[in-house]
């Protein structure tokens, strides 16, 4: 296919939006600002998010006991840090790259779904009476029961590690199906904690399908990254955490001071869940900017070309070949697109070089240890703001609060990080 030609199934004007990505260039897609919020602006109820928050709190003593090596209170929570940047004064960073246990945003959704399963299983097997403290799960008799159960999940690395690490600590078996993009060191660290790594010679969409099949065959619990409300809710809990942190800084979001969040996006679950939570709190005063590699723009393609339905990026001659392993996804989650797709305000496709430049800059300027996926939000700042200002999406006199969500990297091994920093 010629770079400037639309595949027959799509109109040329829709294809024009994605054409720069096909040429390997940065591109911005903006939602029509006249649309306002749609009916499913908050696909989660406040009760659902409150319940998730309460479950995380119930599990704090268990997680603290399972991971006692650090001075940690059991809360899955990250800092909101200042970032010195002259072009974006007042820039803040939500440091999920340093989340406990996993070193990535996956400690939210992935671990949440695992905790739901463990609690259900414990009640079902009589390990836990209603209202009884979850610390009972740490007793040898409980751990022996959990040992007989298997969690199955597909991952490019970080989701599998978050789930695998906590599952193994609880005694559960963990089977992680990995796509060909997964880095060797991510597979090795999973094996080192006793997880079973199943390597697939296919992309992430294929790995999810194979993991789903394997889970049926084994009668295991499958965490479905393409279709899970629990994952989504787990991520959404981060919104209230951010809102508390903004209030504590005296930052009131509203007319004249919108909140703009820059969220690295793979299949869409993590940014989608966070967006759903934020839209529930701030409505139209929060703008959610999803960030994808130019070679793997699956949400970009769904919104710019697919009228909100997931479509395969291969249809446009895109390769899904990117240094950002966590974001190497060729087709968006149908669940996420259905739940929040119409409320995603923008998607920015960023180059591998821009992500690597930001890994280096964030380390040099602020000692943030990021992997390329986790640094991608920074790379979207300038392209988004110049397009959004020009298009009138941000009022000329508005003073937005910008939050770059750094989603992974604090557990990068030294050699991997040094290789990224090397010129």
Identify residues 329-388 at the interface with ligand PLP (CB under 6 A).
373-374
* C-alpha distance across the termini of the chain, in Å: 35
Return the residue of 6, 78, 142, 156 that touches ligand PLP, per CB under 6 A: 156
Backbone angles phi, psi at 42, to 5 degrees: -125, 80
The verdict on 164 binding ligand PLP (CB under 6 A) reads no
Q: How far is the CB of 116 from ligand PLP (least distance, A)?
A: 17
Residue 346 contacts residue 290 (beta carbons within 8 Å): yes
Residue 6: CB partners within 8 Å, gap ≥ 6?
12, 14, 15
- Select from 326, 330, 377, 383 the one that contacts ligand PLP (CB under 6 A): 326
d(CA 359, CA 94) in angstroms, rounded, equals 15
Burial 107-140 (b: 16+ CB within 10 A, else e): bbbbbbbbbbbbbebbeeeebbeeeeebeebeee
105 binds ligand PLP (CB under 6 A): yes
What track of x and - describes contact with ligand PLP for positions 237 through 276 (by CB under 6 A)?
Answer: ---------------------------xxxxxxxx-----
CB of 292 to ligand PLP, least distance (A): 9
- CA neighbor of 258 nearest in space, from 1, 51, 33, 63: 33
Closest approach of ligand PLP to the CB of residue 37, in Å:
21
* 40, 342 contact by CB (below 8 A): yes
Does residue 234 belong to the site contacting ligand PLP (CB under 6 A)? no
Question: At its nearest, how many Å lie between ligand PLP and the CB of residue 349?
Answer: 14
> How far apart are CB 187 and ligand PLP at their closest, in Å?
14
Closest CA to 412 of 104, 175, 156: 104
Taking the complex as a whole, the smallest distance from the CB of residue 271 to ligand PLP amounts, in Å, to 5
Tell me, what DSSP letter sits at residue 195? P
Q: What mask of x and - would describe binding to ligand PLP in positions 270 to 309, judged by CB under 6 A?
A: xx--------------------------------------
Please report, as ranges, the residues that interact with ligand PLP according to CB under 6 A. 104-105, 156, 158-159, 264-271, 326-327, 373-374, 407-408
């Amino acid at each position: 296919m010629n770079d400037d030609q639309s595949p027959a199934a799509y109109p040329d004007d829709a294809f024009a939006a994605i054409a720069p990505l096909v040429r390997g260039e940065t591109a911005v897609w903006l939602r029509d600002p006249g649309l306002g919020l749609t009916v499913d602006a908050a696909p989660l109820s406040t009760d659902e998010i409150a319940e998730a928050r309460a479950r995380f709190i119930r599990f704090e003593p268990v997680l603290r006991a399972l991971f006692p090596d650090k001075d940690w209170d059991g809360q899955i929570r990250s800092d909101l840090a200042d970032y010195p940047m002259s072009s974006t004064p007042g820039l803040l960073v939500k440091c999920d790259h340093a989340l406990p246990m996993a070193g990535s945003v996956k400690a939210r959704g992935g671990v949440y779904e695992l905790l739901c399963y463990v609690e259900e299983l414990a009640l079902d097997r009589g390990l836990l009476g209603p209202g009884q403290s979850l610390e009972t799960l740490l007793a040898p008799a409980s751990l022996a029961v959990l040992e007989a159960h298997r969690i199955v999940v597909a991952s490019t690395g970080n989701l599998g590690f978050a789930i695998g690490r906590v599952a193994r600590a609880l005694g559960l078996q963990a089977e992680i199906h990995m796509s060909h993009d997964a880095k060797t060191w991510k597979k090795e660290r999973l094996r080192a904690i006793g997880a079973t790594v199943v390597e697939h010679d296919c992309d992430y969409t294929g790995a999810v399908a194979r993991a789903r099949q394997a889970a049926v065959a084994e009668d295991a619990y499958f965490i479905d990254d393409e279709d899970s409300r629990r994952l989504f809710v787990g991520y959404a809990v981060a919104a209230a955490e951010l809102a508390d942190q903004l209030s504590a800084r005296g930052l009131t979001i509203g007319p004249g001071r919108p909140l703009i969040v820059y969220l690295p996006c793979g299949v869409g679950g993590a940014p989608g869940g966070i967006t759903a939570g934020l839209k529930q709190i701030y409505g139209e005063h929060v703008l959610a900017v999803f960030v994808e590699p130019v070679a793997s723009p699956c949400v970009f393609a769904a919104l710019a070309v697919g009228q909100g339905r997931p479509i395969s990026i291969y249809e446009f001659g895109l390769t899904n070949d990117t240094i950002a392993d966590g974001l190497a996804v060729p087709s968006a989650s149908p669940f996420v697109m259905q739940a929040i797709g119409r409320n995603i305000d923008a998607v920015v496709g960023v180059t591998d070089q821009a992500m690597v430049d930001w890994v280096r800059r964030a380390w040099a300027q602020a000692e943030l240890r990021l992997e390329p996926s986790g640094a991608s939000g920074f790379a979207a700042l300038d392209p988004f703001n110049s397009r959004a200002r020009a298009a009138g999406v941000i009022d000329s006199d508005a003073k937005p609060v910008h939050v770059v969500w750094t989603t992974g990297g604090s557990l990068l091994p030294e050699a991997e990080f040094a290789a990224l920093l090397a010129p």
